[in-house]
């Protein structure tokens, strides 16, 4: 159950009770024993059998095409490498239908089949990115867990996840989705929660994903009042193409040349439930400096970010630990700093990062601008 679900259940339960009284008592007061022509409650209360209800259920929506998802997300970077990474992920993964194209995901949980037992993270339904998963929330207390692993693109990428929830208003699912790292699926440790607004509404969102990382989705009904509610889930992975990564430590620092601009993304996929304290957003660069003041400039800063930079001294050589620091001071502002401490000639590290790690998920299929727009770094003397 998600945080705050008890209050949501109370409101939905009260509305459902009023609806049931109107549907049941009003015809009797008018001298008629017939039910209203428009169902106001769940399908079972309208007197339909399970077989009839199943037959009346809408067809499952088809899955997303990987290229179309990338286009909708506004990814204007060259597509060759992105397509290769995504195609490899889909084609190399085991297929439920035995084919090489995206189809029905393994571990499907349609309402027409027996419950596969995916109500626990340890028995989560396996999912292949690019496929369509047919799910079912069978009661207000039912939970579905779905798990998938991202491709090995060095910089990671972002996932666009989509849910549809067909059905009559009172029996349709109000999708409530939580993301977890597969290595920490305790209820309280979700990375984020995204929910549909009303029963039957579709839900689409994106989130930053780390390379070769297993994630788990927890799917429930927001109000805990539905039953035998079908839904479809699909997700696509769009890689972030950044040859400077990974460089989140001095040992993995990217070598740069004095005076040569370098473009990189201030981007990091979820590797823990707490994004704000994740050091993976740091980018280290190493540059050879002469024993004279150096200037660091960061331009083309994405509009959501306040950027900052440090130049580190070599403590073992008697230098100050930090020989220069600068911040943009405002979101989207450029950064310029000049070292203000003496240092010896030789290699030095430059650290570039956001002052505050950004929220790495959001509604819709288009991610934040920092996912799509690289900043430019140049060090001069």
What is the spatial distance between Cα 160 and Cα 128, in angstroms, rounded to a whole number? 13
Pair (38, 79) in one structural domain? no
Report how far residue 184's alpha carbon sits from residue 17's, in angstroms, rounded to the nearest whole number. Answer: 38
User: What pLDDT is stored for residue 105 in this prediction?
Assistant: 52
Q: Look at residue 245 and tell me if it is in a domain.
A: no
Regarding whether 228 and 257 lie in a shared domain, the answer is: no
In a domain, 125, yes or no: yes
> Which CATH number covers residue 96?
2.60.120.380
pLDDT at 107: 66
pLDDT of amino acid 171 = 75
Q: How confident is the model at residue 19 (pLDDT cuts 50, 70, 90)?
A: very low
Q: What is the pLDDT of residues 357-372, one digit of tens each?
A: 998 999 999 999 999 9
Run of H or E residues at 296 = strand 295-299
Q: What percent of the chain has pLDDT over 70?
A: 71
Lowest average pLDDT, out of 8-22, 158-172, 329-343, goes to 8-22
- Domain-located, residue 228: yes
pLDDT given for residue 170 in this prediction: 65
Band of residue 22 on the pLDDT scale cut at 50, 70, 90 = very low
Shared-domain flag, residues 199 and 211: yes
Domain tally for the chain? 3
Q: Which domain holds residue 152?
A: 54-239
Tell whether 92 is covered by a domain: yes
In a domain, 244, yes or no: no
- For the ranges 52-61, 193-202, 354-363, the lowest mean pLDDT is seen at 52-61
Instruction: For the chain, give the mean pLDDT.
Output: 78
pLDDT tens digits, 129-138: 999 999 999 9
Cβ atoms within 10 Å, residue 168 = 21
**In this structure, are 186 and 264 located in the same domain?**
no
Q: In terms of DSSP bridges, do strands 125-126 and 144-149 run parallel, antiparallel, or are they unpaired?
A: parallel
pLDDT band, residue 76 (cuts 50/70/90): very low
Q: Is residue 14 part of a domain?
A: yes
Mean pLDDT is lowest, of 19-28, 155-164, 254-263, for: 19-28
Q: How far apart are the first and last CA of the chain?
A: 57
Query: Using 50, 70 and 90 to split pLDDT, how confident is the model at 104?
Result: very low
Question: Is 194 inside any structural domain?
Answer: yes
Residue 206 sits in the same domain as residue 313: no
pLDDT of amino acid 362: 97
In this predicted structure, the answer to whether residue 69 has a pLDDT above a threshold of 90 is no
Same-domain status, 294 and 333: yes
The residue that leads in pLDDT, 91 or 283, is 283
Same domain (yes/no): 125, 256 = no
Phi, psi of 253 (to 5 degrees): -60, 145
- Other Cβ atoms less than 10 A from the Cβ of 279: the count is 12
d(CA 339, CA 345): 13
Q: What is the pLDDT of residue 317?
A: 83
Alpha-carbon span 377 to 381, nearest angstrom? 14
For residues 175 and 104, membership in a common domain is answered with yes
Q: Are 87 and 191 within one domain?
A: yes
Looking at 10-24, 231-245, 270-284, 289-303, which range is the least confident one?
10-24
pTM: 0.71
Closest CA to 348 of 312, 378, 302, 374: 312
Q: Residue 110: which pLDDT band, with cuts at 50, 70 and 90?
A: confident
Domain shared by 139 and 221, yes or no: yes
> What token pair was written down for 358?
């950004």
pLDDT at 180 exceeding the cut of 80: yes
For 272-316, the pLDDT digits (tens) are 998 777 889 999 999 999 999 999 999 999 999 999 999 999 878
Residue 43 has pLDDT above 80, yes or no: no
* pLDDT tens digits, 213-231: 999 999 999 999 888 999 9
* Confidence bin at 7 (pLDDT 50/70/90): very low
Average pLDDT over residues 1-27: 37
Q: 102 and 144: one domain?
A: yes
């Amino acid at each position: 159950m998600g945080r705050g679900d008890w209050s949501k259940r109370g409101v939905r339960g009260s509305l459902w009770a009023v609806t049931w009284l109107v549907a049941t008592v009003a015809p009797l007061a008018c001298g008629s024993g017939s039910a209203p022509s428009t169902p106001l409650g769940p399908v079972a209360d309208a007197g339909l059998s399970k077989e009839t209800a199943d037959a009346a259920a809408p067809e499952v929506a088809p899955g997303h095409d990987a290229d179309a998802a990338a286009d909708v997300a506004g990814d204007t970077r060259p597509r060759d490498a992105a397509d290769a990474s995504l195609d490899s992920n889909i084609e190399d993964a085991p297929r439920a239908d035995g084919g090489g194209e995206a189809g029905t995901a393994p571990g499907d949980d349609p309402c027409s089949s027996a419950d596969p037992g995916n109500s626990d993270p340890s028995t989560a339904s396996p999912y292949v990115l690019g496929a369509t998963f047919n799910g079912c929330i069978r009661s207000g207390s039912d939970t579905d867990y779905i798990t998938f692993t991202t491709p090995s693109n060095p910089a990671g990428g972002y996932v666009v996840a989509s849910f549809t929830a067909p059905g009559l208003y009172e029996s349709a699912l109000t999708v409530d989705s939580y993301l977890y790292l597969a290595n920490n699926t305790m209820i309280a440790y979700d990375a984020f929660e995204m929910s549909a607004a009303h029963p039957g509404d579709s839900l689409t969102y994106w989130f930053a994903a780390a390379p070769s990382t297993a994630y788990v989705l927890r799917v429930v009904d927001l109000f805990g009042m539905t039953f035998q509610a079908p839904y479809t889930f699909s997700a696509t992975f769009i890689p972030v193409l950044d040859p400077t990564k990974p460089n989140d430590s001095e040992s993995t620092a990217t070598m740069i040349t004095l005076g040569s601009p370098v473009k990189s993304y201030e981007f990091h996929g979820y590797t823990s439930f707490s994004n704000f304290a994740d050091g993976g957003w740091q980018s280290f660069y190493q540059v050879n400096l002469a024993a004279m003041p150096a200037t660091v400039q960061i331009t083309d800063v994405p509009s959501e970010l306040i950027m900052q930079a440090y130049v580190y001294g070599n403590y073992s050589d008697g230098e100050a630990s930090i020989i220069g620091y600068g911040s943009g001071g405002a979101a989207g502002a450029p950064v310029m700093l000049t070292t203000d401490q003496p240092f010896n000639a030789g290699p030095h590290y430059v650290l570039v990062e956001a002052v505050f790690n950004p929220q790495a998920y959001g509604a819709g299929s288009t991610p934040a601008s920092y996912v799509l727009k690289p900043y430019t770094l140049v060090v001069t003397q």
